Amino acid sequence: MRTEYGKPDTLLGLANFMLESTMGQHYYLLYDNTTISAGVTDGLVRLLKSRGDVAVFQYDEKLIQLEKAIRGFYHVANLRNVFVFCSPQNTINIFKTVRYLKNEVHESIKSKIISKHDCASRDVTRLKLDGSNPQEGR
């Protein structure tokens, strides 16, 4: 039951160290078939569940399931704890996809902030104090 990363005990020890080094109570485990076997995956899931809630995803190129989980309303948090056990190429793809999604979300948030600012850029209180109807001049 050896993996690219060494013995299963080494993986579990690494995961335990990472759990002790991070905050949060929800964890995501993303793996592919090239790195860990089903037995190791089960051990990691048990370890993660002992510390909090865990969602397990098998790697797919578009990361659709992981994206749905992270963007879902159930797991709203500023910090995401994602344990990635994938081949080097898949890991690179994950980082590229996450960077793209992060920029996409940032642009969406930025445009909402600008829209809110635009809505508040007209001083309706001054019109009210002057006795004008704020609805006029629209």
Q: Tens place of pLDDT for every residue, the chain, 138 residues?
A: 344 444 567 777 777 777 777 776 677 888 887 766 556 667 777 877 787 777 888 898 888 888 888 777 665 666 677 888 888 888 888 888 877 777 776 555 444 443 333 333 344 445 555 665 555 544
Pairing of strands 26-31, 53-58: parallel
Model pLDDT, residue 120: 35
Model pLDDT, residue 68: 83
In the structure encoding, which two tokens stand for residue 137, read together?
A: 């001049």
Model pLDDT, residue 112: 44
What's the rounded Cα separation, in Å, for the pair 14 and 115?
Answer: 45
Model pLDDT, residue 100: 78
Model pLDDT, residue 6: 47
Q: Are 29 and 57 in contact (CB under 8 A)?
A: yes
pTM of the full structure: 0.57
Domain boundaries, the chain: 8-129
SS3 3: strand
8-129 maps to which CATH number?
Answer: 3.40.50
118-to-83, 104, 126 alpha-carbon distances in Å? 40, 21, 17
What's the rounded Cα separation, in Å, for the pair 138 and 3?
Answer: 67
134: amino acid identity, one letter: P
Torsion over CA of 30, 33, 36 and 41, rounded to 10 degrees? Answer: 50
